[in-house]
């Protein structure tokens, strides 16, 4: 399973190789509302599936509940997407953010929820193409930066998120290839958090003991972008 391989690769204590290779079958330029809803539902499901493994990472650094928390938020977001009516891509992403903020609580709920909810501040669009996706996510990143003092290298979700968004912004390919590159950047960023000292949260108190385990938040970001890439490819093959 792709996401389990990702977790094993990100955690140096686990065996296995990632072997992430997304084969481009078609050039995908954009997705309609129905496809974006399906893309998000399938991608969010990876957080539900990987709950226990994310908890395992968090036990080494924090309270051991990151997987349970983000799984709860993801399921709430999936329920919201499946029952709601949406007229723009922005509304879909914002619904994810609102569901996560209300169901997760704590710092993770605020940060992940804010990132997605900020989509409603970007120009509305009925299709998701590379330009739109970059605009939605860049708006989310701007709002995150206004709420937290975290910087790249602090062993947080930023260490995977910022490389992924930079890759999206600089991509000149189609949507699938751009997401593939963003996923690779997120994975690398999450991997590198294993060698960092934590600057925030309970992990900050561990000092050198925080080294050797990748940040659960960054790992969750890598899972999300990996899911986006794989599921966009699947949607492309069906069209």
Specify the higher pLDDT residue, 68 or 25.
68
pLDDT of residue 24: 38
Per-residue pLDDT tens over the stretch 11-46:
555 544 333 333 334 456 889 999 999 999 999 999
Whether the per-residue pLDDT at 56 is higher than 90: the answer is yes
pLDDT of residue 63: 85
Q: Taking residues 38-56, what's their average pLDDT?
A: 97
Distance, CA of 50 to CA of 216 (rounded, Å): 11
Specify the higher pLDDT residue, 19 or 178.
178
Whether the per-residue pLDDT at 201 is higher than 80: the answer is no
pLDDT of residue 106: 85
Please name each of the domains of the chain with its CATH number. 31-234 (1.25.40.340)
| Whole-number average pLDDT of the chain | 88
Whether the per-residue pLDDT at 238 is higher than 80: the answer is no
Please state whether 105 falls in left (phi above 0), alpha (psi between -120 and 50) or beta. left
Distance, CA of 166 to CA of 162 (rounded, Å): 6
Whether the per-residue pLDDT at 209 is higher than 60: the answer is yes
pLDDT of residue 19: 36
Q: Which helix (H) or strand (E) holds 236?
A: helix 216-238
């Amino acid at each position: 399973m792709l996401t389990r391989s990702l977790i094993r690769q990100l955690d140096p204590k686990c065996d296995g190789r990632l072997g992430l290779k997304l084969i481009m079958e078609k050039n995908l330029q954009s997705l309609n509302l129905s496809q974006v809803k399906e893309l998000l539902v399938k991608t969010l499901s990876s957080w539900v599936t990987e709950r226990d493994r994310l908890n395992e990472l968090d036990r080494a650094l924090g309270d051991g509940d990151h997987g349970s928390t983000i799984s709860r938020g993801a399921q709430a977001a999936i329920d919201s997407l499946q029952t709601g009516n949406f007229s723009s891509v922005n509304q879909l992403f914002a619904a994810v953010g609102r569901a996560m903020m209300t169901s997760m609580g704590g710092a993770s709920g605020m940060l992940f929820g804010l990132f997605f909810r900020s989509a409603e501040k970007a120009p509305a669009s009925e299709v998701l193409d590379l330009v739109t996706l970059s605009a939605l996510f860049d708006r989310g990143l701007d709002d995150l930066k206004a709420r937290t003092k975290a910087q790249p290298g602090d062993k947080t979700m930023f260490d995977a998120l910022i490389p992924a968004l930079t890759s999206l912004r600089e991509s000149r390919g189609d949507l699938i290839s751009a997401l593939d590159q963003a996923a690779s950047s997120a994975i690398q960023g999450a991997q590198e958090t294993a060698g960092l000292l934590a600057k925030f949260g309970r992990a900050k108190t561990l000092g050198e003991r925080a080294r050797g385990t990748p940040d659960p938040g960054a790992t969750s970001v890598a899972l999300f972008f990996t899911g986006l890439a794989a599921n966009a490819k699947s949607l492309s093959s069906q069209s």
